Structure 1
Amino acid sequence: MQSWQNIIQRRFHSRLVLIVCGVVCATSSYAAAQGPGGGGGGGGAAAPAFNDPKFRDRVWEAGGPRLSGLHTGKLVKAVVIKGNETVSQHKILSHMQTRVDRNYDERQLQSDIHALYGTELFRTITPKFIDYKDGVVVELLVVENPTVTEVVFHGNTRLDESMLSKHCGIKVGDPANPFSVDMARQRLVDLYLEKGLNQVAIEVREGNRKDDRRVFFDIYEGPVERVWDIKLIGNSVFSTSLLKTKIRSKDARGGATPYMGNVANWEKFDNDKTILVAYYRSLGYFQAKVDYFYDYYDDGNFLDLTFVISEGQQYKVRNVTIVGNHYEPFTTEVLMAALETKAGDAFNLGRMSRDQRKLRNDYYGREGFVFVDIVPEPRFLDEPGMLDLVFKINEGDRYRAGEINVHIEGDSSHTAHNVVLNMMGIREGQFIDLKELEDSERRLKASQIFESNPAMGEPPRIEVRPPDAQDLEEF
């Protein structure tokens, strides 16, 4: 007779809960029939009150009294701010939840003061209390940190001030912080480099000293540099024309497009180098190396970009093996016959990935192995240019579909839930088919019932979860 533990374990591993989530698309005809879409999803849980004991010490060291629960529960008659010169009382109170006609709470005031320190606008904040018969007045004596009074950009002609201000990240009223100014200068340099102004030089004339209130950037922009020609040397296996289609940098196409999409961007050059290396290695050239250099024309506005390639030897697959398959119908012979990769083939990352997906979706995924883990592992050998390819399979448990829950953010109805269920190719009690799950999710996204634009709301998705632990307790 099987033990109750075995029965419970088998029940837990045989059923999964399918959660279908989506946001109603306000522009679809279906949503129009249902009424205006609701706002999806509430905010996260509120942060816990700040009650670190060190905070009390900070208030004490700043010259204020230690906070205690002496006034807790009394009505707040007024919140008075003293000592502020450049920061308005309204701005200070906007960071506080301790307010008039609310009961005073010590932990809430601690949290408020912590939030005010977090703005970096204040050097010290000292609380004080005045007791009355009908309540308490809370006073905060603040000592401000210096703030920025003006941000000046000098010498810019190619990029306008609004763009520089946006990327700078410093505005009037912000804390005057030399470190923040230096970071702002670097953001401006990055912006100019992105625009092909690689000779840019930006100097901080004011704002990098402790007592500075004005931030002054002196900018030498230089010319916009563009790529005239892209060359590749050292490539013999793949043509230059093919490799140029893989990279993002563009040239002037022999003068046909001298000012179209060919801005010289160093970050893009580095990414192109990485792309070329990845392309070679995906096809078995694991020793491939790529670097680049550039030559300026006399006017300094154009340059030739040259990628230097060392291809190395292409690796071939000596043996293909599969390990970890225990499910009786999926013998090694059956799975091996399904693979594209064969012994003696040149290594091909795309082919290996297709084999991995085929084993997952067309075999294990069709039989309820929802969490099967299949890892292809190239193993390099002492023999030059040869490797063994091993597909390591961790089958996991086999699952049937349990309860199918539909969760719709925004306006929904019983009809909407039925529409979702009709698009699902899986029913309760069936073994879960991974390919059918993907097809069902694709149908939901293409239905125009739900929002599929990530900027407008979370696209429809299907989640597979184990049953709640509470189900086992009830069982």
Structure 2
Amino acid sequence: MASVISARAAQIDKNKFRVRTAVQAVTLSFALGLGAGVVTLPSPAVAQAYSFSSVRIEGNRRVDASTILSYAGIARGQTVSGGELNDAYQRVLNSGLFERVEIVPQGSTLLIRVVEYPTINRISIEGNRRIKDEDLAAALQSQPRRVFSPSVAEADAQTLSEAYVTQGRVAARVSPKVIRRSDNRVDLVFEVFEGGVAEVERIGFSGNGKYTDRRLRRVLETKQAGLLRAVISKDTFIEDRVEFDKQLLRDFYSSRGYVDFRITGVNAELAQERDGYFLTFNVEEGQQFRVGNVSVSSDLAEVDTALFQRRVKMRSGKVYSPVLVENEIARLEKLAIQEGLNFVRVEPRISRNDRDLSLDVDLVLTRGERVFIERIDIEGNTTTLDRVVRRQFDVVEGDPFNPRAVREAAERIRALGFFATADVQAREGSSPQQVIVDVDVEEQPTGSLSFGGSYSTTDGIGAAVTFSERNFLGRGQFFSFGVNTASSSRSYSLRFAEPALLGRDLSLSFDLNYSETDNLNATFDTAKGLFQPALTFPLSEATSLQLRYSARYSDIRNVDPTDTDIGGIIKAEAAEGERFDSSVGYTLNFDTARFGLDDKTRYLLEFGQDFAGLGGDSTYVRTNVRAVAQTKVFSEEVTLRASLDAGALSYSGGESRVTDRFLVGPNQLRGFDYGGIGPREMGPDVDDPLGGEYFAVARFEAEFPIGLPDEYGISGGLFYDVGSVWGLSDATKAKVGAGNSIVSEEFDARHVVGFSIFWDSAIGPLRLNFSEPLKKRDFDDERRFNLTVSTQF
């Protein structure tokens, strides 16, 4: 009997050795310094069945024994094989709760010995300078006082690396390290190597023939690195930005009639030093198509297609653009609503004519689904009032649902500039015939407080403080206040504007300005004030009308009647003292940019008049005219611009003064100082610019690249200006001082040529003008150089 027991014990010892070989875990090591499990599979020749009457678990402190048993999946008295023991081992190890696991059969007892993963004591990030700790920590899944997981830590390291990649630092590396502490705790440290910015060294194009590389680079959001790379943030390589650039290229070509345009690929080659990329966009331009026949059709009996046809503005022969079609669809759908035709949709059907490279457009009016707007939900606007967002919609609850109208409202919400993001989506409402429009926005700062300083030879040292708020009190109103002081001048301005008076497309504004001059280089000082409320509203798609009231104050000060350096006209006008003028006026504005059909060509026409005499000290009519035309030629590389500014002042009660008449400055007629041309009172010691009751200035200019990389934002220009200031009333001329005379009172055109440097700088678009008058008078005040803020009309 004893020999049998001895033999049986020996057999058990052999089996125990085999199972231990099959399932016992050897020393584990993982990437973070804690280990990774390795299991030696048993040989098929030593298959053995086991049955355990008890299970003993050792090493667990936080994890309950029943939890471990549930992962192992071995019940008491269950017969299991070596392979099933190995599966149990894998299940316990893969639970992610243990650093090491051992499963050891000991007779009728199964021993499960575990080493738990430590608890994270604290998490720190080291080596980061470009991104703050709190911004990086917010992206981590690992948290203090939670169980440490190697896989989660590795994922966190990858997440932090990707945060740097989005900034163009593709060489950035993040390495997680652990520092063991007592009581089975560890400190988790992410060591960051930020690396340098991988800049875009060069952007090239392959397959483009209609537009040059330079022109296409201006379309892209990504820019090439250059000398100004320290201040240009868009020269870093970011994959998402490249995808956006591809869409920009498609839109650029599509809007110019290249309907077959394709991007066949983008090659991004990383430099050997991993500090720069070479981007090449491979494109196929195709042919440019123009608009063929444009027609309107419908199978709806209540639709008068002739009425809709008359409203179509797209004409045959024009370069085709999807924007043209979208605008026509929006126009016709609005007309359908005006005609009481609800649920009418306009579907464009495009027919291609390859022979003459034209696209026929048939605008088909069809019956859409009968779906109504149940409600409009607005979320995320913590400052902006709901009504500011809601008034961007042309529809309200209960109106027929029009997806196009909702998309247009979304664009208007984004165009407000009040929100960092604005997402507008439609979802099914309480029934299939109703939809709920969800507007989810994220507020962004809309106010600014700026401080500035200046110095000039005429005004001396100055300081400026300006506060502005584009979303005043969350009501969508504009408010600004500014103070500009110098040793020889002071000005104060306040402006308030309500863009949607009474919830309508009606703008109400108030302007209050006051300025004083104390110029030692002039023979007199002035004080001017203006209070001007105005209403502006649209008359058509491209035309608006402004109605205004103006209360003006003016005074000519510090004129010594005995001073021989001051002419008789200025002395007489100063002797009149303060003057108050009251007027009403209007400005009619036509601007093709409002409907944006062609971004290459733009026309602007303005005509305004002010009628004074409603109280006040004088009666007059002041007329101003402005006309501007702009187009782009030579593959849109060169911008041609022509403008005309003119004005007339006609008094029927009282007389004009130097504070009322037109004084042209260098921003209107380059090459001459403010008041540098026009009527003057001249004498032995007198040289007083008087201004004129009429002026006209025509400007012609071309703007073009000068060979510098586009990312510098520097281009050149040539200009030719011609203009004149003239006209004084007989009563004014009669005030001329003894021994003095009036010169340049008649129309006498001055001619100027010059070149400009345009610089899109970090402080704003600047323009440097270098002028050379071709025709002038000896007494004119010239200004050969002028630095201004470049503005677009």
TM-score (norm 2): 0.30
Provide TM-score, normalisation by structure 1: 0.47
Structure holding more strand per residue = 2
State the structure with more CA Rg.
2
Q: Larger relative contact order (C-alpha < 8 A, sep ≥ 6)?
A: 1
